[in-house]
Each structure stands twice: as C-alpha cells, then as structure tokens.
Amino acid sequence: MLPGVKGSRTVNLASLGLPTSLQYPVRVLATRGGKPVGQASPSSFVQYLDGGQVTGTVESLSVTGGQALISADTFGGTTGVTLQDSATTRYNLATGALGAALTDDTSGTSLAQNVGTDPGTGNTLILRSPFTSGDWQIEVVNAAGTIVADTPISTLGGLDAGNSYLESATIDPKRDKAYAEVYDAVNGLSLLYTVTMATGAVTGPIQINPSNPGRTFSNISVDASSGDVFATTTGTQGPCLDGRAAYEMAKIDPVAGTASPVSTMPLCTAGVAPDGKGGTLYVAAGAAQPDPEAGDFPVSTFFTVDQSTLAQGAAETIGTRGPAWPTYDAKHNVIVEASIYEENVATDNNAMSEITVINPATGAVLSRLPVANLLDSTEVGVNFDFTSHQGLYLDHATRTGWLVDAFGTGIERFSY
C-alpha cells in the first residue's frame, strides 16, 4: 500500500513466495479504509527473472549438483534465420548468475543439445546436429570446456551413413557411461550406442527394434541401480491421437548387448521415469494438441510399467494436457511432472502450465501447482523437445525444481 495519494513502494518479490521467471500484472487502486473506491489503473507488468538470461533461445538444459548447463542458439542476419552462435553456458542455481560458456560454436553449422554432466568424470555429453551441412556428432567435453572426443555418427558401425540421425541420449550416473540413440532411416532401426564418459569412446550398436522397424525410440532412460536402459517411442503432437503410428518400449541390457521384444505403449506416450530400484517405471501419456481430424483433446494419464516384464499397470487420470518430464523424487516418494496446460485450462481465464505432484503407487494427484508457462518455450517459440529431452530437474533435499522458463531464455525455479 502506498503512503498516500502518491508515492512509491519497493516490494521484495522473493518474500511474496512468487514463482520466478514469469510476468506479473500490476495495477493501482484508490482505496479508503482498505476498500477500493475507484477504477483500477491500466496494467503494467513486472518480469520476475530467476537469474541471468542467455542470448538466443534455450534448446536444452541439464542440472548436476549446484550447477545447470543451458544450451542456446542465436539466430540473426538479414533473414533472421542465420545461425550465429550455439553455446552451452554455466548457470549457478544458488545465485542465478550466468558463468562462462562451457562451449561456444560460432561457425553457424551445428546446433547443440547438452544431455548432462557425468558425476564421476565431470565430463559433459553434447549432441550436435547439423544446421546447414555436416554430420551429427557425439561430443564429450571436460569441465574446462576442452573437447575430449568428437565422434561423427557417419564413422560409427551398424548404420546407413548419411541417412541416420542422432536423436537423444542419457547418462548413467553410477557407471560413467552414457547411451545415445541414433535412428537409421533407411532400415527403420533405432540403434543404441554406448559412450564411455572418461574417454568419449563410442561403441555398439544394439538394435532396439530389429523385429519392429519403422519407429524411433527417442526417449532413453536408465535405471541407475541396475544399469538397464529403457527406450520408448514418444511424441505428443495432435496426430499422435489418430492411431496410425505405433508406440512401443524395449528394455536393453548394455552389458549383454541385448534388447527385449518391444512392448506396446499407449498413444501419445510422453515420458518415462525409472524408480532407481530396478522395479518400476513411471510413465506419463497424453496429447499436447487436439486431434487435427476429430478435434478431441483427451486429458493426460499416469501409469506404471514393471521393469522386468514391461507389463503395464492401470492408467490413472491426471487431468492436464501436454504432460512432460515425469521425474521421481525417491526421498519423498513422489512423481513431479509438468504439463503445458493445467487441469482448469478450459475455465481459468488466466490459465497456466502446471507442475503436478503424484503419488507413484496410486496415481493420485497430491497437489497441483499452476506456476509455469511452457507454451511458448516448447510448442511456439523455440525447439525445446519436451518428450525426448529431459527438461525438469529436482533437488530432493530442498524440494526445489527447475525447468525451462516462459521466455525460452533461462530457467524457472519452483518449490513442490
């Protein structure tokens, strides 16, 4: 409240408990006795940033310990679509300060997606995709930003060189390994390669779908307790509802070099989170857009998968739309996932994206937090893939989470 008919007041937004990285409307009302006595002023807006904003738009982020890495691409030139820079920048989660770039490519030839940092070696895995020309590359860099190894996928065995592309990867934090998935478009095969994070050496592949060619398995997750890898077909755009494309999952034993027969998954499968105990997978499913033909837009569901048999449990309705990044908090035994559209999107005239906290045993919703805005930073403004690339990270000790912000230029912090 202002001291009189004019004046100023400084407000500490952090003390109000507001989520960061959002834009808040501000209006002034005349009051008497604490009650409005006139029309509110026109709206102004306050942009409450969590911390430093990167140049360009965020393509991926990862969190390890107290540091995030943000990969962003900058476009410009006379057309506005010339790639000018592709950088992966350090971000201090405690202070919100941007640090020095870990990598910075100004050649304009490739886009970067950082998968994460291996805790054992301190090395970071970066996937590079060609922008104008060149090859897909699996790159490992050390903490100083020096390239440990840079492997073009055309040099790998077991694929059709020139007709294969690098889709996604994940890191096994206990074994100093990473696993990268490459799709061979000529043979219709998803291929899993092992990356040794200490040296950057790439070995393999293991064929994920030798008996079921034609679909990619771009969502890759690993259960750190067993080292088993789970490869899943994901994708939640509107056409996923028409049933023309199969959704499947396979379990891979990287040591034995074998993959299980594929198991059918629900349409519009969005994300998979292992329990870290070798027992259960937690899965989110649901479209991020209405069916372009029928127009229906069903709400999201949550279900479990047995890691041994790939048998599915009963699906429970979550009620949001466009689910992404289910993440397991083992300390508090909850699943935290994001959704592009909150449960009340049809009736709330200020609808937001939602952070949903779920009981993993029952699928019951424990809390709903409409505190994010993911529409621009996933579907509209940038290329942040929200089904193959992880975009939500948790600190179990403090019940703090981070995800890409509403503007696609930084990180939003939230509590759950």
User: Which residues have C-beta within 8 Å of that of residue 347, sequence separation ≥ 6?
Assistant: none
Q: Mean pLDDT over residues 140-155, rounded?
A: 97
The pLDDT value recorded for residue 101 is 97
Residue 33 has pLDDT above 60, yes or no: yes
Condensed to tens digits (0 to 9), the pLDDT of residues 155-184 reads 999 999 889 999 999 999 999 999 999 999
The pLDDT value recorded for residue 283 is 98
Q: Which of 222, 320, 228 is nearest to 272 (CA)?
A: 222
Residue 354 has pLDDT above 90, yes or no: yes
Asked if 191 contacts 184 with a C-beta cutoff of 8 angstroms, the reply is: yes
The pLDDT value recorded for residue 3 is 66
Q: Which of 355, 328, 325, 146 is nearest to 225 (CA)?
A: 328
Maximal CA-CA distance, the chain: 77
Q: Which of 301, 240, 251 is nearest to 274 (CA)?
A: 251
The pLDDT value recorded for residue 200 is 98
The structure's pTM equals 0.92
Tokens representing residue 77 in the block:
């030139």
Condensed to tens digits (0 to 9), the pLDDT of residues 268-293 reads 999 999 999 999 999 999 999 999 88
Residue 49 has pLDDT above 90, yes or no: no
Residue 393 has pLDDT above 90, yes or no: yes
Whose tokens are 């889709």? That residue is 167
Q: What is the 8-class DSSP label of residue 241?
A: G
Q: How sure is the predictor about 5, in pLDDT bands with cuts at 50, 70 and 90?
A: confident
Q: How sure is the predictor about 349, in pLDDT bands with cuts at 50, 70 and 90?
A: confident
User: Which residues have C-beta within 8 Å of that of residue 164, sequence separation ≥ 6?
Assistant: 136, 153, 154, 182, 183, 184, 185, 186, 191
